[in-house]
Structure 1
């Protein structure tokens, strides 16, 4: 299945656009330009991401660079000239101009999470940002879709197939041995053996967790089906198919349905991926180290800025809000950097 992850899940693209915003907000900050030079010089991919982001900003007319050419590898921070608001935005002041620019660029990049056309064409049920939906299927099984999620239904006389196209869904299956119930998510299949279970399709992994009963899970890298019981959770890496299995409290599986995300133990990155679907804007985690840190807790899905801080700050990070539309998680500065 094609990966339908939104563009916001490309970290370099996200970082490049944030650099445009930061340089526009603080054009005279020499330390900021030095940080940008270090980021830009990390790899050709960073330079390419910057070039792509800058082209989009130029097309919108929101900003114009004072210097159009950039070196392949910055040799001096002075070679990078900050961006300034264009004359078309001169009537807007300060952060209002930045907010307008941000909205324009995010819409141009598809980063306000407008429904993916391919998913919309395939989906029988689809939710928007921050909205869950409970659906009763023709056989009496009940599916609750999380925010920004979609499923397609394929029922026939001999079987019941459901495809999770995006996001997350919790299934309460009406068992029927004569018509097997199976959910496909990416490259895996989850077969009901009489149960309540949750499946999440993240940018980097597919996760199946069983709240009650039993589920059989198959993937291309497994020689045989793995049977999960209540409290079992299996994660399949979308890049290499690597499978990991762990045990969690059954009560945490599907907890998002109550408006509260309860996490036994997970990475900041995976918690952030869930929060993104409930935030009407743009969330970026700048630090790969921060994304990989383990976290646990209870997070309010009705207050995403607070939930993100609750996950990030105890892990040594900080959260900055930009223009009311963006949350940026970064490593907190050390004492000598403050």
Structure 2
């Protein structure tokens, strides 16, 4: 049995978000290999673990059914073995109508939840990029900002200040220093004050990262109990955990900061999870991973952002995992199978 599936079926007391993710992963796997009886047995064990597991699967099926990509092969074993008894026509009509409406309601709620951040960013952003696109913007003062794939910024210039907000993704800043008009960048809880420099900021839901390629940057955090401003120089990097507020300081090669602008991602002792997050902004589809432990392993190297399947394979290869592309829109990371007798 694959180690990742074992972990999937052995977890206890998971939050709904985790179960929803696993349910969707099972849908992909069962669709991709519907005749694998071992896989079906493992899924049945997962499905039977608790009512919450069964409910997560039911919700996933409701949404997937709207895509037309699922069939009877995705139904739980218990549901296929015990079909509902036939009811008189009137009773059946009264029951079917609300059940038919549930997938539509669930899909609409899911769509709204997924689209709200996108709509909010679209309303606030002055400059954006799509998946896989880099874009350089020259501002009125001669400063330039290069946005990475799937990124957005808002710009606010006045006679006395220059403010930029990174709304999502990653941006590399090359600032023309002006003591009379400070240049400040906000990215979630992080604040960066330019002191004549080139620096990079990346932000996602879990972490904000600031790296300095050249010059100096004053880094601080918002909030009343925030620590004093930290002065950063070339090669300095700061990571901020958005959940705990923990600040981690590292030293990297200055050339690695913003390396993605040339189409090559240079990584030094980075977690696989963070590298995958970056690659996902350059892939026009979904990257699915089953092994959560994979996220915390560290890797280093050069990865081609123009060939994401090959780059992803290079990232997970040291862990013994493999990448398979499905329909040109899904990259599936699967662990190497344990040899027989182990």
* TMscore range, shorter length: 0.7 to 0.9
Of 299, 302, 311, the residue aligned with 1:298 is 302
Q: CA deviation at 1:24?
A: 2.5
Given that 1:183 and 1:191 are in contact with CA atoms closer than 8 Å, whether structure 2 keeps it comes out as yes
SS at match of 1:32: helix
Distance 1:67 1:201, change over 3 A: closer
Deviates more, 1:322-331 or 1:245-254: 322-331
- For residue 272 of structure 1, what is the aligned residue in structure 2? 276
- For residue 86 of structure 1, what is the aligned residue in structure 2? none
- For residue 29 of structure 1, what is the aligned residue in structure 2? 36
SS at match of 2:311: helix
Measure, in 2, the Cα distance between the counterparts of 1:310 and 1:206: 25
Given that 1:206 and 1:235 are in contact with CA atoms closer than 8 Å, whether structure 2 keeps it comes out as yes
Q: CA deviation at 1:336?
A: 2.8
Q: CA deviation at 1:112?
A: 11
Of 326, 330, 336, the residue aligned with 1:326 is 330
Deviates more, 1:147-156 or 1:220-229: 220-229
- For residue 6 of structure 1, what is the aligned residue in structure 2? none
Measure, in 2, the Cα distance between the counterparts of 1:26 and 1:60: 18
**1:224-279 alpha-carbon deviations (Å, 9 max, x no partner):** 11111100100001111111110010000000000000001100000000000000
How well do the aligned residues superpose, as a CA RMSD in angstroms?
Answer: 2.8
- For residue 207 of structure 2, what is the aligned residue in structure 1? 205
SS at match of 1:212: strand
- For residue 60 of structure 2, what is the aligned residue in structure 1? 53
Distance 1:49 1:200, change over 3 A: farther
- For residue 166 of structure 1, what is the aligned residue in structure 2? 168
Measure, in 2, the Cα distance between the counterparts of 1:12 and 1:60: 21
- For residue 224 of structure 1, what is the aligned residue in structure 2? 228
SS at match of 1:177: coil
SS at match of 2:249: strand
**1:16-44 alpha-carbon deviations (Å, 9 max, x no partner):** 22321321233232211123234446676
5+ residue gaps, structure 1, are 1-9, 71-77, 83-104
- For residue 335 of structure 1, what is the aligned residue in structure 2? 339
So what's the TM-score if we normalise by structure 1?
Answer: 0.80
5+ residue gaps, structure 2, are 1-16, 82-106
Instruction: Verify: 1:79 aligned to 2:83, yes or no.
Output: no
Distance 1:241 1:293, change over 3 A: same
Q: How many residues align?
A: 297
Measure, in 1, the Cα distance between the counterparts of 2:52 and 2:232: 40
Given that 1:112 and 1:280 are in contact with CA atoms closer than 8 Å, whether structure 2 keeps it comes out as no
- For residue 240 of structure 1, what is the aligned residue in structure 2? 244
Q: CA deviation at 1:81?
A: 4.9
Q: Where is the helix percentage greater, Structure 1 or Structure 2?
A: 2
Distance 1:24 1:329, change over 3 A: closer
So what's the TM-score if we normalise by structure 2?
Answer: 0.79
- For residue 287 of structure 2, what is the aligned residue in structure 1? 283
State the structure with more CA Rg.
2
